[in-house]
Each structure stands twice: as structure tokens, then as C-alpha cells.
Amino acid sequence: MAPAHKAPAGGASPPSLPVHQQEKTALVSAQQMSDLLRRYPDVSQAEKLQLIDFLKRGHPETLAMVTYGSGLVSQVGTVKKDHPEHFPSGWRSLLPWFGLLVIALVLKLVVQLI
């Protein structure tokens, strides 16, 4: 009998999935997203939100596999064009980097004053 996993003390989160299970989950997710992209725009609102979230936050390797490996580059472009509020371009895409630069400069100034 295999030993049961005990949750770490202090209310920490349970152990993550084993690597082979993570790969299997990523593959299922890639297959699901490929299917959604092939069917786009004929997807439900929930599926559309799931697809947008995947394109914004998905693992880079999985994104590449879905986009280029499945030949769905044009579909990804269509989703991004249809929902520009989720995929900023131009100067808006640089705002997070500008914010990080400002924070870094302020922290450097504070450290020098201390």
C-alpha cells in the first residue's frame, strides 16, 4: 500500500501534481484549446472567456504547440483582433514595464536615502 500524502503543517497547500500528470493535463488543455480555436467564433461565451484566458496566461510551450503546431496562427490573430481589450498593443502594452521601471527607480532612491 502506497503511503498517503500528508498536507504540510501550517495550512500550506497540498503537494502539486507529479510531473507526468502535469504534462498529461497540459496536453489535454492544449487539445481543448486547439478545438476551441478551430471552432472559433462558434463557441459559447464561457468557452470564449476560457480561450482568451488561455491566450493571455497559458504556458508558453503549450501556446506554441497550439498556435504553431496545430497551424492555428490565423485563428489566434482573429481572437486577438476581435477582443483588443484583452490584448493591448502599441504603447498600452508597454505600461506594465513602465510601471516596473518607476517602482525600481523609487526603490533605488529609497535605498540610497537610508
32-68 per-position pLDDT tens digit: 999 999 999 999 999 999 999 999 888 888 899 889 8
In a domain, 10, yes or no: no
Does residue 72 share a domain with residue 103?
no
Does residue 78 share a domain with residue 107?
no
Average pLDDT, the chain: 78
- Overall domain count for the chain: 2
pLDDT at 27: 56
**pLDDT beyond 60 at 20:** no
Does residue 95 share a domain with residue 70?
no
In a domain, 9, yes or no: no
Does residue 96 share a domain with residue 46?
no
CA dihedral 80, 84, 85, 89 (to 10 degrees): 100
Does residue 102 share a domain with residue 77?
no
Does residue 71 share a domain with residue 31?
yes
Domain that holds residue 58: 19-83
**What DSSP assignment string belongs to 23-63?**
HHHHHHHHHHHHHHHHHTTSS-HHHHHHHHHHHHHS-HHHH
Does residue 93 share a domain with residue 45?
no
Confidence tier at 101 by pLDDT (50, 70, 90): confident
Report pTM. Answer: 0.57
Better pLDDT: 2 or 55: 55
**What DSSP assignment string belongs to 53-104?**
HHHHHS-HHHHHIIIIITT-HHHHHHHHHH-TTTS--GGGGGHHHHHHHHHH
Does residue 27 share a domain with residue 73?
yes
